[in-house]
Structure 1
Amino acid sequence: MKRLMKVISRMVFLLLLVWIPLSCQLPLSSSQKLEQLTKTITVRVFRADEANRLGGSGVLIDRSNNQYWVITNDHVVFDRKLSYKIQTFDGRTYPVQIVSPSPSPKENDLALLTFKTDTPSYSVLTLKASPKMLKEESVLAGGFPFFDDFHQAQDFHFTQGKLMMVLDEPFLGGYQIGYTNLLRNGMSGGPVVNQKGELLGINGMAQDPLLGNPYIFPDGKTVSEKAWQQVSQLSWAISVQTIRDFVQQHYLNPSL
């Protein structure tokens, strides 16, 4: 009888060893799900020769069978003489074609890319028309930043912050959304999303500009010295509505 009890006790102990770790695996929090979503729809954009002087990020916005479309900033791929590639979240790389022409100085700082793949299937983040934007709502900004040695990160990075301003009239380049998230070089073209996982815009202008005055409106006017103190402390993104209008000019898809 004692021997039987020992066997039963040992079996119960072994079952507990298996059950306890499983029971401690908590489900992903909403913030973790948001980070995972943002990671899967963000790509790294870089030169095909893999020189690290140029590069940035982009967002997967649409697909048709095995063809995908990516939105990024034009300044990420401004040299049209070069060839570019993208890297998806699973580490695969693909050559891309730039669909949109180079913009004039007064046009939006946007570029549309496309690539094809016959193997995996990637998620895309639909360009929802005019998602509601609330002042001081929490937003996540993601991308592939450069490090101090000028090498671009191979892994996705993100920063948390708050949306602070939405201009009635955007600055040159289409920059309209101001937010507190810290941006680094290489995060241009990456997504800015709200807590619902909706795309609000794409990164493109970091805080505290070192050269020149980027806060100029299309009519040539600029912000006051007082306003400069405020806007220069924010990062700036191009809104999803501006992106929708741009994409529809170069890629006619009724779903966008």
Structure 2
Amino acid sequence: MFFNRYLIPICLTITTIAIAPVEVTAARRETRAILAREVGSIAKKTVVRIESAEGTFGSGVIIGRVERGNKNIYTILTAAHVVRSTDTKYKIITPIPVNSLGVRKRTVIDVNIKNIKRIPNVDLAEISFESNHIFAIGTLGNSEYADEGSPVYVAGFPKPGQAINRIAFQFTGGMISSRLDESDLNPKEMNNGYDISYTNITRAGMSGGPVFDAAGRIVAIHGQGDRNNQVPGEEASTGLGSEEKTGFNLGIPIQTLFRIQPHTRNLVGARVDASPVNYQLLDRSLTIGTNNKKFARRFRTRADAPPIFDVTKVDEQTYD
């Protein structure tokens, strides 16, 4: 009788203890949204400019690094139409190295044509280069969580305009306006992988630049700007287009890259964080196995932080 009376309560207690940590672990899988200027800092450390000998140019982002001997081999992800020509030379202008001492400046690196890999059936390409410097690497996110209304940021180096008459890094905010993933059902309608659209300001020269989510992870590669009469690749280095832009721009989701090239992480040394975004600027308290407030711990409170971006200004930012 002694054995039977106490066996069941003991088992229940053990089960309760085992379940509680699982719930906390699941909650921690979300990645906290960060401020726009923090995402901008990530972008400035990872985005590159790509120029051709023909005078065209675009953008790209460093997504991986592997070590071979004493050399660092970096991989840039960009739009394939930025490096479409096989008869010209390309060079990349890197971000400022994180291990830079003394003079802090960007580095110009000539690209060997054999180091450009065009990814089949989609407007994406990878460029590899060697360097003794240490550059920051962008983290690849999960584009499936970038649904309509999600805040996103686009970064790159647009061609000079009337007022901004030199090439300068630009970082713009907006939101996902549409998901066009239904086109995956028919490969003939895939539009080179451009299955996601957003409201960010973009200009020619920003093609190949990254689209970041609110946690600073790359969820797409920018490459098209919609126009009333679309000219294919108008967001490429030429900037040609017959009519004004509609305000919608398009990118290729990172999940498309993973479907075509599932071993990207191992191939190029990429960092991947596929967790959803927690948009709460106030970190919630964690309670383990109890509702008693005495055991709750609050940390990194940011209730007074400004909003991630001002959605009221999006409609005003539709023209170049």
One-letter amino acid of the structure 1 residue matched with residue 107 of structure 2: R
Q: Name the residue aligned to 2:196.
A: 177
Shift of 1:154: 3.8
Shift of 1:69: 0.3
Q: Percent identity?
A: 29
Q: Residues 162-195 of structure 1: CA distance to partner in whole angstroms, max 9, x if unpaired?
A: 1111112344110011100121000000011111
Q: 1:74 aligned to 2:88? A: no
Distance 2:222 2:108 in 1: 22
Q: 1:109 aligned to 2:127? A: no
Shift in alpha-carbon separation, 1:254–1:117, aligned structure 2, 3 A? closer
Distance 1:36 1:195 in 2: 13
Distance 1:250 1:197 in 2: 19
TM-score normalised over the length of structure 2: 0.57
Shift in alpha-carbon separation, 1:187–1:247, aligned structure 2, 3 A? farther
Q: Residues 128-157 of structure 1: CA distance to partner in whole angstroms, max 9, x if unpaired?
A: 3445123212111110001247x9954311
Q: Name the residue aligned to 2:44.
A: 39
**Any residues of structure 2 matched to 1:52-71 within 5 Å, and which?**
52=55, 54-65=56-67, 66-71=72-77
> Which one of the candidate residues 74, 86, 95 is aligned to 2:92?
86
Cα contact 1:100–1:111 (8 A) shared by 2: yes
One-letter amino acid of the structure 2 residue matched with residue 87 of structure 1: I
Distance 2:92 2:165 in 1: 13
Question: Structure 1: which 5+ residue stretches go unaligned?
Answer: 1-28, 215-230
Shift in alpha-carbon separation, 1:132–1:96, aligned structure 2, 3 A? same
Q: Name the residue aligned to 1:143.
A: 156
SS in 1 for 2:181: coil
SS in 2 for 1:241: helix
> Which one of the candidate residues 199, 207, 217 is aligned to 1:198?
217
Cα contact 1:182–1:206 (8 A) shared by 2: no
One-letter amino acid of the structure 2 residue matched with residue 191 of structure 1: P
Cα contact 1:144–1:153 (8 A) shared by 2: no
> Which one of the candidate residues 111, 117, 141 is aligned to 1:100?
117
Question: Structure 2: which 5+ residue stretches go unaligned?
Answer: 1-33, 97-105, 184-189, 234-244, 271-320
Q: Name the residue aligned to 1:18.
A: none
Report the RMSD for the aligned CA atoms in angstroms: 2.8
Distance 2:141 2:170 in 1: 24
Between 128-137 and 184-193, report the one with greater CA deviation: 128-137
Shift of 1:204: 0.3
Shift of 1:251: 8.9
Cα contact 2:118–2:124 (8 A) shared by 1: no
Shift in alpha-carbon separation, 1:209–1:243, aligned structure 2, 3 A? farther
One-letter amino acid of the structure 2 residue matched with residue 133 of structure 1: A
Cα contact 1:34–1:195 (8 A) shared by 2: yes
Shift in alpha-carbon separation, 1:169–1:95, aligned structure 2, 3 A? farther
Q: Name the residue aligned to 1:220.
A: none
TM-score normalised over the length of structure 1: 0.70
Cα contact 2:49–2:93 (8 A) shared by 1: yes
Higher RCO, Cα 8 Å, sep 6+: 2
Shift of 1:110: 1.0
One-letter amino acid of the structure 2 residue matched with residue 125 of structure 1: G
